[in-house]
Amino acid sequence: MGDTPRVTLRLPNGETLELDVETARLGQDVIAIAPLLQHDVFAYDPGFLATASCQSAITYIDGEAGVLLHRGYPIEELAEHCSYLSVSYLLMHGELPDQARLDTYVDDILQRTPVRDNLKRIVQSFPQDAHPMSILGAALYGMAGLYHSEIDIQDETTRYHIACQMIAKMPTLVALCHRHNLGQELIEPQPEFGYVENFLYMLSGERPDPKLAEAVDKLLILHADHEQNASTATVRVCASSDTNPFAALASGIGSLWGPAHGGANEAVLNMLEEIGSVDSIEEYIERAADSSDPFRLMGFGHRVYKNFDPRALIIRGRCEEMLAMTGQADNGLFQLALRLAEIARQNDYFIERNLYPNVDFYSGIIMSALNLPKTMFPLIFALGRCAGWLSHWNEMIVQGYRISRPRQLYVGQERRSVPAQVGQPKRI
């Protein structure tokens, strides 16, 4: 017997099984359950509440302590001292870039910001009022069509170029979706403005205040990665079939769009507008706490954070700065959000379930200060999260992987025969 810690499991058939415990560098250890397969029994964990689907060295979260580390660096320090592009480099490569590496990386990205006419036509083919997440997803599938045959995902240099291509084109595609929704032409990128300033310029046609660009840069850092969240896990599962990486990223868009994930920032603003005034807060808190009412406080709760979401604290501070900067210091929605958070935090239902404001609770307010419509908020999330998706995709390929293929607990009919009299379509 070696030093590997093990647990003993008694199986339904009475046999016992020794399972290895794999030790984490930080956080929970895991029980390696693959040997269950040889005993004709599986683990059952809907929603993956207690299942680690992979090993990863990118991001660590301590949900009890409200800690978020990227490659070991606390999110607070990264948001204070780094740019989004440095953080995206860190996530992918494991170390922060020195000046020379950063310069090369930034050049590799900025020169790729223009998009081909094919992609513009995909966007323009949508109805003007289509939700921009649907357009963005289609544009990423368009990327898969444009960049397919020459891609060898096992080649490290190719993966680097794919990542640069994606990080470069996302702001242009997001801006393209926005301009299409407005019924306006795409503004061609101006790479010399830099990554975030160019993005804001492509949205509005005006070169932004550098402080505004800095606030958006921080917002992107706060969204850059969050370990095995639904969209990142989706990208990994999708990519595990060796599919085109842009198609895998498009699947991430689909997952992110939902209101329980990246669509929550849009849903928070809808909710705040519906609540309308401080006087109505109690009524909505009561509804959220009523298990027979499907209403939930959007921007509250998290699968992993059971104390506070450190990103929400940073964003709340940034929100105040951003609103002051744009002359909206007395923004009614922000005041309403602050009061709502305060009242919810004193409510037994929220206290007992450890429900705190998450990253999406305040981020929509920053985005609305940019004069963006609510439907655009999940696209800003996607723009930031793109760095995480690419890093996890890259890590998975470097580590080696098998196709993701969960099993199930079957609860349907037992075997039976098709009846003699069964309806037939008029034509087949």
Whether 223 is a known active-site residue: answer: no
Least CB distance from residue 380 to ligand CMC, whole Å? Answer: 12
64 exposed, middle or buried (CB, 10 Å; 0-12, 13-18, 19+)? Answer: exposed
Whether 360 is a known active-site residue: answer: yes
Strand partners, 22: 30
Smaller CB distance to ligand CMC: residue 170 or 297?
Answer: 297
Whether 226 is a known active-site residue: answer: no
Interface with ligand CMC (CB under 6 A), residue from 142, 252, 301, 384: 301
Is residue 161 a contact residue for ligand CMC (CB under 6 A)?
no
Number of residues that bind ligand CMC (CB under 6 A): 21
| Dihedral-angle region of residue 66 (phi above 0 means left; psi in -120 to 50 means alpha; beta otherwise) | left
Interface with ligand CMC (CB under 6 A), residue from 115, 359, 366, 382: 359
Task: Please identify which of the residues 261, 293, 309, 330 carries the catalytic annotation.
Answer: 261
What DSSP assignment string belongs to 83-101? -HHHHHHHHHHSS---HHH
Is residue 360 a contact residue for ligand CMC (CB under 6 A)?
yes
151 exposed, middle or buried (CB, 10 Å; 0-12, 13-18, 19+)? Answer: middle
Q: Please compute, for residue 102, the number of CA atoms within 13 A of its CA located in the half-sphere on the CB side.
A: 15
Q: Please compute, for residue 137, the number of CA atoms within 13 A of its CA located in the half-sphere on the CB side.
A: 15
- Contact code string over 225-264 relative to ligand CMC, x by CB under 6 A: ----x------------------------------xxx-x
Is residue 351 a contact residue for ligand CMC (CB under 6 A)?
no
Stretch that binds ligand CMC, among 113-121, 140-148, 244-252, 350-358 (CB under 6 A): 350-358
Among 336, 347, 350, residue whose Cα is nearest residue 272: 336
Stretch that binds ligand CMC, among 23-31, 76-84, 138-146, 297-305 (CB under 6 A): 297-305
Place of tokens 């307010």: 365
Is residue 296 a contact residue for ligand CMC (CB under 6 A)?
yes
Please name the helix (run of DSSP H) or strand (run of DSSP E) that holds residue 265, with its range, or none. helix 264-275
Is residue 220 a contact residue for ligand CMC (CB under 6 A)?
no
The phi, psi pair for 60, rounded to 5°, reads -125, 135
Smaller CB distance to ligand CMC: residue 179 or 385?
Answer: 385
41 neighbors 11 (Cβ within 8 angstroms): yes
Catalytic residues: 261, 302, 360
Positions in the binding site for ligand CMC (CB under 6 A): 47, 229, 260-262, 264, 288, 291, 296-303, 353, 355, 358-360
